[in-house]
A and B are shown apart, each in its own frame.
With several copies, the nearest count.
Chain A
Amino acid sequence: MNSKSTNKSNFFKITIENIKRPEISALFAFIVVFIIFSIFGWDKNFVSLMGASTWINYAASVGLIAFPVGFLMIAGELDISVGAVLPASAMTLGILSGYYELPTWLGLILTLGMAFLVGLINGLIVTRTQVPSLIVTLATLFAVGGLTLTLAILFTDSTLVAYYAPDWAKYLFGTVYYGGFRSIVFWWLALTLIFFLFLHKSPWGNWVFATGGDLESARNAGIPTARLKIALFILCSVCTALAGICQVIQFNSAQSATNFALIFNTIISVVVGGVLLTGGFGTLIGIFFGTLTLAIVQQGINFTNIDRNLSNLIIGIMLLFAVFVNGSFQSLTSKVITSDGDDKDEKS
């Protein structure tokens, strides 16, 4: 036990001192699963442009949302309302520009505006009340979901709408490029760059970390924490809406059903990416690879002979493993003694 706790805090100390980076372990996790599936999926062309496009497309559709969700987590908040905002925005565009045949640009603006509003509501409630964001966004998840369904049926008599976007919109949001890559992939890559600069280079990035690190000190340091959080909630909804837009334009059709799965997928990506659930720490590249890792496991399984029903099991184990690697970063919050003491408790 002695040696144990020693090694442990030893490892921690190292992580503290030479600022070991979560993206390293996320990259590591990514490489591991990639190799695994390359082996098991070889004879089914997992390793091919087309093969790659499957999980990269998927990663893009999740990653677009995982980034802002990650920002919120670093700032100490959660947003699970994305599960309802995605279909809501897809339906909005579908109904406005598809069913009512409004010009696309107008439909786009109104859709983004709707998302903006949801984010604003989330942000205001979270910052003005003492209610934890998990609960606030859980409530908006249900509310927005229910509203989408009701309005869809009210306006179109159906829970699904078809929408064929004009070519320019198709090229921008929903077409397939060489090798089977979708427009959304380029959005994702572009945002990866922009968000990287935002989080790690711009002053605002610093604010995000400070806010999540110690809310009160951040405010005392003159950081407008509340406005920052509201902005992040809005960013989160708007990015989700962008994903929704890409979806409806790509698939020419939108559905109103709440997408609960998305909630889990984004959180998994972010945490596998090494962001601290308790806030204050994380990296963009980490989230990037976290998303890719999830995507490979989710899609790669289809290239193997493994029983598909096992994929959930594998996702679970992969998640544990990845978080295990990152777990150490918790210690940065000087929780060393904690874990150490805990072991003791068990021993007996």
Chain B
Amino acid sequence: MSENKTILELQGVHKSYGNIHALRDINLKVNEGEVLCLLGDNGAGKSTLIKILAGVHTPTKGQIFLDGKPKSFNRPKEAQELGIATVHQFGGTFPLMSIGRSFFAGVEPTIGWGPFRFFDRKTANRIAVESVQNFGITRIDDGDRKVGGLSGGERQSLAIARAVYFGARVLILDEPTAALGVKQSAHVLRIVNEAKKRGLAVIFITHQVMHALAVGDHFAVLIRGSVAADFKKGEKTREEITDLMAGGEDMSALEANIHA
């Protein structure tokens, strides 16, 4: 696997929000056809890291390389155009818009030309509905329905479907399964694997060891803003990973403690 070509690489990336240092000297490789699981405690800096890759934030220090060439994303748009699609931890859909319009917000398909390039509703709805149904959510069949009418799980799936559709090269998912039921989660995991097979690089954030183990090829653990561990599938046991996710503390103790 490790032969896989590296798409994204971070070198010595720092990010601080004023006086709190969310990220310290991050070095990380993201290879195509590989799922990178980003693990870590609450507040470890996971979302901050992927926001930098998504162009939402710019690093305070450090460099990002795309295909080996230094790049800096100043706006989400730029990252998108380079084929990096992200599902952020919160939001991502527009309750008052139709499924089709919400799906294509910011990258509307158009017909016609010149000043008469109009939003292509039909195409938009068709693609949106198809992509969502891929998630086994077959109840959704009308692209004109308002997103506000969907359940939390359905909305989450819609957001992911969008990313998958636009994620030409890199797909970033920030806790996509947090609000989802086991079935929907399973679907998401399936999608992740499919994307990987299609040669995409996937960054997958989760707090659930099981999910991480189910899809991860490569694991990076953040503790208080720095990379505490970076290892391949099978190099560590589930217990070790769990401990790392807990910020290095011995979970078995804690777990025992649960019933104590």
Contacts and interface: CB of A to CB of B under 8 A. Distances in A.
Contacts of A210: 94, 97, 101-102, 105-106
Q: How big is the B interface, by class?
A: 35 or more
Interface string A206-237: 11011001101111111110000000000000
Given A222-B77, A224-B75, A332 B146 contact: yes
Interface in A160-203: 197, 201-203
A47 interface: no
Contacts of B19: 10, 13-14
Q: How big is the A interface, by class?
A: 35 or more
Interface in B36-95: 51, 54, 56-60, 74-77, 80, 86, 88, 90-95
Nearest to A8: B18
A224 to B, nearest CB: 7
Nearest to A279: B96
B146 A337 contact: no
By secondary structure, the A interface counts as helix
Contacts of A206: 97, 101, 104-106, 108, 119
A220 B77 CA distance: 8
A315 interface: no
A219 B78 CA distance: 12
B123 interface: no
Interface stretch (A108-116, A118-126, A244-252, A339-347): A339-347
Kindly list the 4 A-B residue pairs having the minimum CB-CB distance in the complex, ordered from nearest.
A10-B18, A203-B108, A222-B77, A213-B94
Given A206-B119, A344-B58, 12 more contacts: A10-B18, A13-B17, A19-B145, A201-B119, A210-B97, A214-B93, A219-B56, A221-B76, A221-B106, A222-B80, A332-B95, A337-B56
Interface of B: 16-20, 51, 54, 56-60, 74-77, 80, 86, 88, 90-98, 101-102, 104-108, 110, 117-119, 144-146, 148-149
